[in-house]
Structure 1
Amino acid sequence: MGVAIRAADEGDRELVVRLLDEAFQGDPVSGWVFPGEEYRRATHHRLMAAFTGIVLDEGWIDVTEDGSACALWLSVPAAEHESEQDAADEGPAQLRAAVDPGNERVELIARLTAEIHPAGRAHEYLWMIGVAPERQGEGIGSALVQHVLDRCDREGLPAYLEASSARSRALYERLGFQLTGRPLDLPNGPQMWPMWREPRG
C-alpha cells in the first residue's frame, strides 16, 4: 500500500494529539487509566498532549500526508547514564502532576512500562501509533510502522513496543514482532504485551 509519510513538526502538534486521543478512546489500557467514558473524554487528551510533547522533543513523529495517522518513535541508546536514569525515575511523577494529579494510574502505567522496557541494546521504540477511527483497518498503521522497520533492517537495529490490545498485538506479530518476556498484567486491569523485533536481512 502506497502511503505518503512525512516527519511531523511543531505545527502538527494539535493534529497528533487529536489523532491519538480519538484512536485510543476505546483502547483497553486507556480505559483502565481513565475509567468512565465521560472522564476519559474530558481528560485523556492531556496525556496524549504530554506524550506528543515528549516525543517532539526527544524523538520523532511520522504522520501521513493526509493527516489520517501518526506514529511516535524514540531512539533508545545501548545504555543510559546514571543521570538519565535518575531523570527517568522522576518522569512518571512529573507526568501525573502535569496531566491528572489525582490519578495515580497515570504515574503507575509509566513506571510499569519503564520497568519492562528491555535494556542493553540500542533499538527504536514505537511509543504509540494512532489512526483516525474511520480509517482503521485500511493498512495505514502497518505502512507507517513498516516505514521505520525498513530502516531498522538496513541499519541492523531491533525495534520494541508494548501492544495495548489483542488487535494491535496481532498487527505487530504480522510485522515481525514477538512477545518478549511475560505480558504485563495491569492491577485490576487489562494486559499489555512487550514485543521485540530483530532486524531482518
Structure 2
Amino acid sequence: MPIRRGDWDDEECMGALLSVSFVDDPFVRWLLPKSRDFLLDSKKHPRRAYSAAFDAGTVYVIGDFAGAAVWLPPGAKKDRSEAIAQTETSVATESQIFPPEFQALVSQSAAYCPSDPHWYLGLIAVDPAYRGHGVGTKLLEYCLAVVDRDGLPAYLESTNKANRSLYRRFGFQELAEVRVGLSPPRFPMLRPARKQNV
C-alpha cells in the first residue's frame, strides 16, 4: 500500500479512522466511555490536537485510510493534550466532562518528553479491518526513515499496552508507566537518535 502525506482535505477521513481504530483503546474509552461522546470527539480531535502536523505536512496516510500516523516535527507547536486536558476537565458540557485525573495524567506524562529537538509521534491509527497485515509496521518504517534523516530522537506516549512490543521493535525504550488515580496507564517511550545508513 502506498504512503502519502495527508493534508486538511483528509480531516474528515482522519476523524472516521480514529472512530474505528480507538474504539477499544483503554485510555481513550476511559476518557470517553459514552459511545456518542466518543464518536463526536473523534471527528474534532484531528483539528483540536494536531493542527500543527497538518500544517507541517507530517500526517502520513497509508492506502485508502487503512492507517495513518501523525507526527510533530522538531520546532512545531507541540501536541495540545495538556491544553485540552485543562479545558475539558474544567468546562462541563451537557453530556461530557473528562475525568478529573486527566489533567494530572497528561502533565505527569509530559514530564518525560525530551527538551532537546525531537520528533513526536502524536498517534498511529490502523483500521481494525487491516490489523495484522503490517500496516502499522509499514507506517513506522516509513516515518522513522524521515526521523533518522534528521538524526534526531523520537518520542511517543503509548496508551495501549498491546502496542508497546511494536514500538520496542523499532527501538523505542519505555521510560515510565504513568497512572493517576483510576486512570489507565500511559507509557512514555523514547527512541534515541540514529543516523540513516547512506
Give the TM bin, normalised by the shorter chain: 0.7 to 0.9
Aligned partners of 2:153 and 2:82: how far apart in 1? 27
The equivalent residue for 1:123 is 118
Pick aligned residue for 1:169 from 164, 168, 175: 164
Matched, 1:9 2:1: no
1:188 to 157, 182, 190: 182
* Normalised TM-score (structure 2): 0.80
Q: Is the 8 A contact 2:152 2:194 kept in 1?
A: no
Question: What is the DSSP-based 3-state SS (H/G/I as helix, E as strand, rest coil) of the residue aligned with 1:127?
Answer: strand
Say if 1:76 and 1:191 are closer, same or farther in 2 by CA, change over 3 A: same
Superposed CA deviations along residues 26-65 of structure 1, whole A, max 9, x for unmatched, are 1010011112445434544433452243431356200013
- Deviation at residue 10 of structure 1 after TM alignment: 1.4
1:64/1:74 CA distance change after superposition, 3 Å: same
2:154 equivalent in structure 1:
159
4+ residue runs of structure 1 moved beyond 4 angstroms? 99-102
CA gap 1:152/1:112 in 2 versus in 1, 3 angstroms: same
Two-structure CA RMSD over aligned residues (Å): 3.0
CA distance in 1, matches of 2:49, 2:92: 13
TM-score (norm 1): 0.79
Cross-structure match for 1:148: 143
Q: Give the percent of matched residue pairs that are identical in Structure 1 and Structure 2.
A: 30
Distance in 2 separating the partners of 1:41 and 1:24: 10
What stretches of structure 1 of length at least 5 have no aligned partner? none
Q: Which has the higher helix share?
A: 1
Picking from 175, 181, 193, the partner of 1:199 is 193
SS in 2 for 1:173: helix
- For residue 178 of structure 1, what is the aligned residue in structure 2? 173
**Deviation of 1:123 (Å):** 0.7
1:96 and 2:88 are equivalent in the alignment:
yes
Give unpaired runs (5+ residues) of structure 2.
none
Paired letter, 1:115: A
In the aligned structure 2, how far is the partner of 1:60 from the partner of 1:49?
14
Tell me the SS of whatever aligns to 2:155. Answer: strand
Cα separation, 1, equivalents of 2:22 and 2:165: 17
Contact kept? 1:125, 1:160, Cα under 8 Å: yes
